Structure 1
Amino acid sequence: MATTDLVTWFPTVNSTEPSSVTEPVIIHKAQRTFVACLFCLIGGVGLTGNSLVFIAVAMSRRLQTPTNVFVVSLSLSDFLTCLGLPFQAVAILSERGWPLAGGLCAMVGGSAMMSLTCGVVTLALIATNRFTLITRSKRTYTTLFSKKRNLIYVMISWLYPFLAFVVPQLVGFGRLGYDSYFKLCVWDTSDAHAHIYEILAAITIFIATTIITTSYVTIYIFIRLHVSVMKNHVDANRGGQSVKINQVTVAANSLNNTNNNDASAMETGTRGDRPRIKVTKREIDITKNLFYIVCFFFFCIIPYGFVLALTNLGVFTWYAGVMFVANSAVNPFIYASKHPVFKEVFMCMLTFRLSAIPEPLPWVQSLFRAVPEH
């Protein structure tokens, strides 16, 4: 078997013995070369794009929001995924198993499982964040998603895959490294414990998908309902009291501080003295941007789900893997095209107009004072 047990972390001899695991039906060299090139291309684009996300957040204070803690964590998981793709290309191109140190393949496999699982969990956290922001009171949102709590959520999103997928295999319950069926650095699917991790991965994806879908469906229904309520209030008060609507608001200010407490509660989805919710067009745009990321993630992960459920799919296994990891390279482009603040900061960075960056941090200000802009 071409997988090295992690108890001997850095073996002195690479294992190249034939595996008893059934090989994919199509293993033509041209196919493997094409998939390897795709992995390298996605890796290069993803490393560049996600690096720009890190730099943008480090440059602009306006991007250092509680929600963007999750965005940075997602970009970090995408960055690590892309960092391992050139090594996966080496694994696919190799004729007789993993050609380098077995410990390196194990590290690549463990990192891939951590980063991909963390990405799924982070998308669920983002969906929950937007759900709470839009459908609950400001007090509830600031309590559940304070800066301290956000950091704890992010830590959990990284600790969970490490403790669930990596640590057990490090101590002997399974083996990380080269898998001769998929010809990738993941886990050894011929090991007796491999099915446990496949089931655990499927459960994780199912729970995260349920949370994401429920959150965004509820957000959509909430916005449609309260926009309809607003229109009714505007129509009812058109001849008398006016309602000013600047941007798209889900909950307007109280129409009459004395007599319209019930109407205000309807608009905000709250009762009594609980704080009213006001969601601006910017917040809705940001939510739509994050929803696009989720949609593309589902588009990429569905083929991979079939691979987990079925066998003997031949070269389709690799193309499903390509689609899965392509998600890690595309997210920065969604930020650049859809997220209003990220788009502005990216344009300033790429055109070297550092002085135009919104709310630049002191180190950025000193940088554009020291270096004349063209």
Structure 2
Amino acid sequence: MEETELCFPQLNTSCVKPKRPLSDTVLIYMILSFISLLTAALNLLVIISISHFKQLHTPTNSLILSLAVSDFFVGFLLLFQSMLIDGCWYIGDFMCVLCWCIDYIITFSAVGNMTLISIDRYVAICDPLHYSIRVTQKRVQVCVCLCWICSLFCFIVFFKDNLKQPGQYNSCVGECVIMVSLSEQVVGFFIYFILPITVIVVLYMRVFVVAVSQARAMRSHITTVTVQGSRKVTAKKSEVKAARTLGVVVGVFIICFCPYYCVSLADQENLFNASSAAYVICLYYFNSCLNPLIYASFYPWFRKCTKVIVTLQILKSGSSDTNIL
């Protein structure tokens, strides 16, 4: 008989390592490490760009910055998640709860940031005359802070039992298990998925309709469009482009998150095998790596900022005043 391999051979209560070919384990480690480092590096470029260059200090970019911060932490979180590839958790029960804490907080804050981005684009496109009055830098910063605080508060409420005694639900040493009741899962599912996704889709449908009408007006050399009855406003091409770009970000977000949330309340053992479940989780995390790539594809300022940062021109005096738009 093949000898059973334990996570902690010196302990009789240790978990048993699942059997997996060494080549598969090495390949998974390499892929996850690459995605983790790429995610952290790309989002760090976004964080530095928006934080450093004064021209990028706008309400919309403040929301993008908050989203980049949550995506940046996802990159580091993947390094810890890779420990579970061989089925063992080696760094203790407290770190297990802490990693779950970071996971849920950054995930829920990302959902909140996506909702705020949708609201921002809705006001910018559908009510441009009042945008500068309603959406100010201070108000956006307050909303971002509330988003992160609410994520932390909800985590504490949902995981209070796990925080009291970390590891109490582990069946063996080397396991990382967090227990959430079905009622709490249902409440969280509606608060953090159904409600925000509904708001996002409804707002972006409205934004899409208005953006299309503005694009047609601009192609017809019409400089004004009617918004809210008889009010006339100037069509802003940059706002429409920003709405389209962030629309792609939101669309990719929904595509990446839907499979994970759709099975979160279901019996995953009956729906998925280990491989398909891994793909769903990887897609869930890979969204954090895609966002900066979307910015690089649609935003010239991001490509220019990246060049300034990589060539270390950012270290020069007065680089924050560089014209990158």
The two structures have a TM-score, normalised by structure 1, of 0.71
Which digits, 9 at most, give the CA deviation of each residue in 1:313-355, with x for residues without a partner?
Answer: 1221121110110011121111112113222222333345559
Determine if the alignment matches structure 1 residue 301 to structure 2 residue 254. no
Deviates more, 1:299-308 or 1:328-337: 299-308
Letter paired with 1:149? R
Residue aligned with 1:277, SS: strand
> Which amino acid in 1 is paired with 2:119?
T
Given the alignment of the two structures, is residue 268 of structure 1 paired with residue 261 of structure 2, yes or no? no
Change (3 A) 1:351 1:318: same
Cα deviation 1:156-193 (Å, max 9, x = unaligned) = 2112221112344235589776978xx985x62xx4x4
Once the two structures are superposed, the pairs formed by residues 195-344 of structure 1 within 5 Å of their partners are: 195-203=182-190, 204-228=192-216, 245=221, 252-253=223-224, 267-270=225-228, 276-308=232-264, 309-312=266-269, 313-315=272-274, 316-344=276-304
Unaligned runs of 5+ in 2: 1-9
Q: 2:49, 2:143 → 1: CA distance?
A: 22
SS at match of 1:346: helix
Give the partner amino acid of 1:153. C
Give the root-mean-square deviation of aligned CA atoms: 3.4
Map 1:60-139 to 2 at 5 A.
60-94=53-87, 97-139=88-130
State the distance in 1 between where 2:126 and 2:202 align. 13
1:147–1:107 distance in 2 versus 1, CA, 3 Å: same
Normalising by structure 2, report the TM-score: 0.80
Asked whether 1:142 is paired with 2:135, we answer no
**Conserved 8 A contact 1:348-1:356:** no
- The equivalent residue for 1:38 is 31
Q: 1:252–1:278: 8 Å Cα contact kept in structure 2?
A: yes
> Distance between the aligned counterparts of 1:142 and 1:27, measured in 2?
59
AA aligned opposite 2:182 = H
| Structure holding more helix per residue | 2
3-state DSSP of counterpart to 1:268: strand
Does the aligned pair in 1 maintain the 2:217–2:223 contact within 8 Å? no
What are the residue-to-residue correspondences of 1:155-234 with 2, within 5 Å?
A: 155-171=145-161, 188=178, 191=179, 193-203=180-190, 204-228=192-216
Deviation at 1:269, TM superposition (A): 0.9
Cα deviation, residue 79, structure 1: 1.0
Separation in structure 2 between the aligned mates of residue 43 and residue 303 of structure 1, nearest angstrom: 21
- Give, in angstroms, the shift of residue 147 of structure 1: 1.4
5+ residue gaps, structure 1, are 1-12, 235-244, 246-250, 254-266, 366-374
Letter aligned with residue 104 of structure 1: M
How far the C-alpha of 1:28 sits from its partner, in A, is 3.4
**Cα deviation 1:35-90 (Å, max 9, x = unaligned):** 44433222111111111111111331111111111101000111111111111111
Shift, 1:151, TM fit = 1.1
Asked if the contact 1:301/1:324 (under 8 Å) is kept, the reply is yes
How far did residue 15 of structure 1 move? 10
Structure number with bigger Rg: 1
What is the deviation of 1:122? Answer: 0.6
Amino acid at match of 2:223: A
